[in-house]
């Protein structure tokens, strides 16, 4: 299947600093990428949908100025947690949807996730 690489896998930072998480589709082009947040033993909460070359669409309740998303190319999307605080500590997962030949293959592939710990 398609491979989505997410980096870093684990990051610890001080309160007030910013953290950037990268999500890359390694062997396919992804016009749409998704960013999720997951709390322990819970389901994934969609934060935003990122389309290449346009502004991300944020879900209700997600602060767009705090969680900056950039999707500059068909293989790379980044999530920057700005001025991180302990309550931002969580597991962040990106996902990319495969699109080939103008048709969407209807499968989302997920990165391995990034565990963010804010001290």
Partner 1 sequence: AQSVAQPEDQVNVAEGNPLTVKCTYSVSGNPYLFWYVQYPNRGLQFLLKYITGDNLVKGSYGFEAEFNKSQTSFHLKKPSALVSDSALYFCAVRDPSQGGKLIFGQGTELSVKP
Contacts with partner 1 by CB under 8 A lie at: 1, 4, 6, 32, 34, 41-44, 46, 49, 57, 91, 93, 95, 97, 104, 106-113, 115
Q: Which residues, at least 6 apart from 31, have a Cβ–Cβ distance to it below 8 Å?
A: 51, 52, 74, 97, 99
Least separation in angstroms between residue 25's CB and partner 1 is 13
Nearer to partner 1, 112 or 119 (CB): 112
Residue 105: CB atoms within 10 A of its CB come to 13
Least separation in angstroms between residue 14's CB and partner 1 is 22
Nearer to partner 1, 109 or 118 (CB): 109
Nearer to partner 1, 15 or 57 (CB): 57
Least separation in angstroms between residue 115's CB and partner 1 is 7
Q: What is the DSSP string of 16-62?
A: T--EEEEEEESSS--SEEEEEEE-TTS-EEEEEEEETTSPPEEPTT-
Least separation in angstroms between residue 13's CB and partner 1 is 18
SS3 of 80-91: EECCCCHHHCEE
């Amino acid at each position: 299947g398609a491979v989505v690489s997410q980096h870093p896998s684990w990051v610890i930072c001080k309160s007030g600093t910013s953290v950037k998480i990268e999500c890359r589709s390694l062997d396919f082009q992804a016009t749409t990428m998704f960013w999720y947040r997951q709390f322990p033993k819970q389901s994934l909460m969609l934060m935003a949908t990122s389309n290449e070359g346009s502004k991300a669409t944020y879900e209700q309740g997600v602060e767009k100025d705090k969680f900056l998303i950039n999707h500059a190319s068909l293989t790379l999307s980044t999530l920057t947690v700005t001025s991180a605080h302990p309550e931002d500590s969580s597991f962040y997962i990106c996902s990319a949807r495969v699109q080939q030949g103008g048709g969407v293959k209807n499968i989302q592939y997920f990165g391995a996730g990034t565990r963010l710990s804010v001290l």
